[in-house]
Amino acid sequence: MRTVGIEEEYLLVDGDTGVPLPVGPVICASAPADGQLTAEFKQEQIESGTRVHLALDTLAADLIACRALADSAASAAGARAAALATSPLPCLPTLTEGSRFAGMEQRFAQIAREQLTCGCHVHVGVESDEEGVAVLDRIRSWLPLLAALSANSPFWNGMDTGFASYRSQVWSRWPMAGPYPVFGSAGNYHRLVGDLLATQVPMDHGQIYFDARLSRSHPTVEVRIADVCLYPDDAVLLAALVRALVETAAREWRSGAQPREVPESLLRLAAWRAGRFGLDGELVDPLGAAIADNSTVAKTLLEYVRPVLEEQGEVALVESLGRQVLGRGTGSRRQRAVFARTGSLGAVVSDAVRLSNVSAAPLLERHRT
């Protein structure tokens, strides 16, 4: 079984008004030196990362602990931590000090100045760059569905954008972001990255913002397409599906099966539909160019990775988590429901703070019983 870990970015907000607060550096200055809480591009956000895990139970408990740690540290700085992928309330974000972030703002101007988004990155262990690139080649068409499953950013600058994930639109402004081609080999992957860096558009490897990529820091494939999930359950589901996709793709590679040559332009449109509708509209079928209802697309993914999930004893859990998100919707639907009921974006943020931090004990057990 492959190792898996989750990195999440959280919005730092005033607990009463919901307005983002620039307290990230204050939090990091007093945080333990274990790297679980780190500064991000803007002072109104912070990042946490779980340790690597084999079992979903321990991953879930670690995820909840990371969220609790972030919220506790935020509270000590006069704020709260919310798993929101964009701020519902208007905010002019504050750049975090440092030469790299200053260089990003200088190079990318308004794109960088307006950027305040929170994502979820899932890392899954691979044996080599060659295996990792083979995985990247074979999971491309499934990534938009993961974006739909995590959609959690309908509001921007105090307005309903009409998107389930407006973060996906804001993030796509970076010239390095989005779908990637079939590479064919690790050599081709690294040559393309080198060519991109030679244009002096991305500042460094960290700005190769493919929807999924090889990690520079860990022996992992890093899937980056998702919003930070409002519900911890959905983040665990996302991690389980990504790990199963990675293992399924690696097995296909070892058996000699070739990746599907889906055009990047089609993948971009599939991701756009996922961002626009989330799970509240039709999605592009990962196995073709047609559209299909979300439950059909989700079932297609489940059947694709079922052999791996069965071996790992995770079928029942993943099916239960999947039924839950299809039934109640993602964080985007919840945010809109709270606003429709209260007429207050501050209430949306308060609700998100509460739902971001739930008890770990029943998180997975209730899906097994």
State how far the Cα of 275 lies from the Cα of 115, in Å rounded to an integer: 17
3-class SS string, 196-208: HHHCCCCCCHHHC
Residue keyed to tokens 């297609």: 300
Residues 154-213: pLDDT tens digits?
999 999 999 999 999 999 999 999 999 999 999 999 999 999 999 999 999 999 999 999
Structure tokens at 69: 């740690």
Q: Report if residue 202 sits inside a domain.
A: yes
Average pLDDT, the chain: 95
pTM of the model: 0.96
Residue 36 and residue 68 in contact, taking contact as beta carbons nearer than 8 Å: no
Q: How far is the C-alpha of 365 from the C-alpha of 267, rounded, in Å?
A: 36
Residues 210-265 pLDDT 10s? 999 999 989 999 999 999 999 999 999 999 999 999 999 999 999 999 999 999 99
Residue-number span of the structural domain to which 353 is assigned:
4-363
The pLDDT of 266-270, averaged and rounded, is 97
The DSSP annotation for 169-230 comes to HHHTTSTT-B------SHHHHHHHHHHHHHTTSS-SGGG--BSEEE-SSSSEEEEEEEEPPS
* Residue located via tokens 């260089």: 103
Euclidean distance between CA atoms 112 and 42, whole angstroms = 10
Residue 368 placed within a domain? no
> Domain with 137 in it: what CATH number?
3.30.590.20
- CB neighbours of 288 closer than 8 A, spacing ≥ 6? none
Long-range contacts of 248-257 (CB under 8 A, 24+ apart): 248/138, 248/304, 248/305, 248/307, 248/308, 249/134, 249/135, 249/137, 249/138, 249/139, 250/126, 250/131, 250/134, 250/135, 251/308, 252/138, 253/131, 253/134, 253/135, 253/137, 253/138, 257/138
pLDDT at 368 over 80: no
pLDDT at 361 over 60: no
CA angle 137, 265, 300 (to 5 degrees): 55
Q: How high is the pLDDT of residue 362?
A: 59
- Note whether residue 145 is domain-resident: yes
Q: Is residue 264 part of a domain?
A: yes
> Is residue 256 one of the residues assigned to a domain?
yes
Residue 34 pLDDT level (bands cut at 50, 70, 90): confident
| Two structure tokens written together for 97 | 């000090």
Indicate the number of domains in the chain.
1
Q: Is position 369 within any domain?
A: no
User: What mean pLDDT is predicted for residues 82-91?
Assistant: 98
Question: Is 78 part of any domain?
Answer: yes
